[in-house]
Amino acid sequence: MHDRLPLDMSGEEFRRLGYRLVDLLAEFVDELRDVDLTPGESPAEVRAALGSAPLPSSGAPAAQVLEEAWRLLRGHSLFSGHPRFAGYVISSAAPLGALADLMAAGLNPNVGAWKLSPMATEMELQAVRWIAELLGFPADCDGLLVSGGNMANFIGFLAARGREPRQRLRVYASRETHTWLEKAADLFGDVAVRSIGVDEVYRMDCSELERRIAQDKAEGETPFLIVASAGTVSTGAVDPLARLRQIADANGLWLHVDGAYGAPAAALDEASEDLRAVGSADSIAVDPHKWLYTPVEAGCVLVRRPGALRATFDHSPVYYRFEEDGAPVNFYQLGLQNSRGFRALKVWMQMKCAGREGLLRMIGHDMAMARLFASLVLAEPQLELMASGLSIVVFRFLGNGVVSEDELNRANAALLDRVQASGELFLSNAVLEGRFALRMCFVNFRTTEEDVRRMVADILRLGYA
Ligand SMILES: *Cc1c(COP(=O)(O)O)cnc(C)c1O
């Protein structure tokens, strides 16, 4: 017997600590409905709770460290799995995903190369295929899992741009597009974004788009990409995807759909024709950690043309021999990462557990909660419905009597602060035409009708506070 080095652990000790952690988490799952959603502490309070000790020179027992980490996190966190969390399009994560992450980290395959992760690579390929099938996208597409929507969109963008250096590239997107696009334009070459206006329900204005493309072509620019949204961050708007597909074809442009949040709703029977048209995109970004309910992080990019990712990202250095063995795929050749974790396992396990039907029931439930919330807002004279799309509802509090837009903006910002600090519910905001609005996003299988009614009552109560 040799002495174990510090972070090594026997199976017996792992079992003891693991059972303890599972007990803590199991209790947490059961009491989530009744805990404060957030302690609403200031940064100074949170930092004081953690303390500012330097790296300890000698270690501490693992059991003690585990208890300390739990105490800190359990006492000073915001819980997005709470039934009345409707703040962002971050899902209430499935408990199964937590177990999957434990399994993935326990076995720790490096899903950068097939040889280092034979079954994990195959499971990721399968998960990607299942996501494509759910969205009505060709199952033989390219794709991989990434950290989230930003990275998935970056990869779609880069696949569209290709490897050849090209000048004066122009990309077209509505002004409601998520901020990832600005980062992409900063990072990825001689690119400028043409920001296109929207119609009264915040969808891209196709006439303006066509005019802008024609003008750029006439001026010797290089249009290459239309970025459409299937579920904008502010209002859940779905751009006219069917029409955008035609415009892209007519102009020889790549159509990328940012469906980070909304794309899974394309699988619903009730999905609009435009939403279904996500299946016609050249590439799609979709986040399993949003409407497929996995814990963060899990994003996914799908690219229609098989081989497109490899053509964009493959460099095979002399120090790798992963190709020689006839590996069917090495994910490091298909994206930006080299070493890669097994984030696919939670996606795979959750999709297999829920099945297509189960996923659609969950997404349909969120849509129903949003419809209920919107109907309660409409029925309440003190609240004004401002926009809604998919499972997002944007509204504001009007209060008593006629007040100016400025006062309404200030009153709603102050109300949002009170709501967020309350620990009872959590929402966020949108700004529509300069008007400050409150925003509810339902991506939460724990939210019940009763929660929705209670949230409306809480908002009214805090509105008058
Ligand atoms: C959330 C979101 C993003 C960014 O995704 P992350 O997972 O946060 O990186 C991009 N676009 C849309 C439409 C989103 O909803």
- Select from 3.30.540.10, 3.40.640.10, 3.40.50.970, 3.90.870.10 the CATH code of 109-341: 3.40.640.10
Res. 124: pLDDT tops 80: yes
Three-state secondary structure readout of 170-225: EEEEECCCCCHHHHHHHHCCCEEEEEECECCCCCECHHHHHHHHHHHHHCCCEEEE
Amino acid 323: pLDDT: 74
Res. 205: pLDDT tops 60: yes
Say which residue, 317 or 406, is predicted with more confidence.
406
Record the tokens describing residue 314, joined without a space: 């493959």
Q: Packing angle between helix 449-463 and helix 405-422, nearest 10 degrees?
A: 120
Q: What is the DSSP string of 122-154?
A: HHHHHHHHHHHHHHT--TT-EEEEESSHHHHHH
Query: In angstroms, what is the span from residue 208 Cα to ligand 1's centroid?
Result: 25
Res. 325: pLDDT tops 80: no
Residue 389 has φ and ψ, to the nearest 5°, of -155, 140
Say which residue, 334 or 163, is predicted with more confidence.
334
Read off the pLDDT band of 328 (50, 70, 90).
confident
- Give, for ligand 1, the residue of 233, 278, 284, 347 to mutate: max count of ligand atoms closer than 8 Å to Cβ: 233
Work out the burial of residue 25: count CB atoms within 10 Å of its CB; fewer than 13 is exposed, 13-18 middle, 19 or more buried: middle
The answer to pTM > 0.85 is yes
- Give, for ligand 1, the residue of 151, 178, 275, 293 to mutate: max count of ligand atoms closer than 8 Å to Cβ: 178
Average per-residue pLDDT for the chain: 95
Side by side, the strands of the sheet bearing 222-229 are 142-146, 299-303, 283-286, 254-258, 222-229, 169-174, 191-196
The residue with tokens 């720790």 is 108
* CA 241 from centroid of its chain's CA atoms: 20
Distance, CA of 383 to CA of 456 (rounded, Å): 9
Amino acid 424: pLDDT: 95
Torsion of CA 241, 242, 245, 246, to 10 degrees: -140
- Average the pLDDT over each of 54-63, 241-250, 322-331, 449-458 and give the range with the smallest value: 322-331
| Residue 180 Cα: closest atom of ligand 1 | 10
- Average the pLDDT over each of 84-93, 317-326, 338-347, 423-432 and give the range with the smallest value: 317-326
Share of the chain above pLDDT 90, in %: 93
Query: In angstroms, what is the span from residue 261 Cα to ligand 1's centroid?
Result: 7
Amino acid 442: pLDDT: 97
Query: In angstroms, what is the span from residue 155 Cα to ligand 1's centroid?
Result: 13
Q: Model confidence over 94-117: pLDDT tens digits?
A: 999 999 999 999 999 999 999 999
Give the binding-site residues of ligand 1, using a 6 Å CB cut-off. 89, 148-150, 178, 180, 229, 231, 233, 258, 260-261, 287, 299
Record the tokens describing residue 305, joined without a space: 């043309």
Res. 2: pLDDT tops 80: no
Amino acid 3: pLDDT: 83
Cβ neighbours of residue 382 closer than 8 Å, sequence gap 6 or more: 397, 398, 399, 400, 460, 463
For residue 313, CA distances in Å to 29, 151, 298, 338, 392 come to 41, 14, 20, 11, 35
Q: Model confidence over 342-362: pLDDT tens digits?
A: 999 999 999 999 999 999 999
Q: Are the beta carbons of 91 and 292 closer than 8 angstroms?
A: yes
Work out the burial of residue 123: count CB atoms within 10 Å of its CB; fewer than 13 is exposed, 13-18 middle, 19 or more buried: buried
Amino acid 154: pLDDT: 98
- The upper half-sphere exposure of residue 16, i.e. CA atoms within 13 Å in the direction of its Cβ, equals 10
Side by side, the strands of the sheet bearing 435-441 are 383-389, 392-397, 435-441, 428-432
Distance, CA of 112 to CA of 342 (rounded, Å): 9
Record the tokens describing residue 166, joined without a space: 């090209």
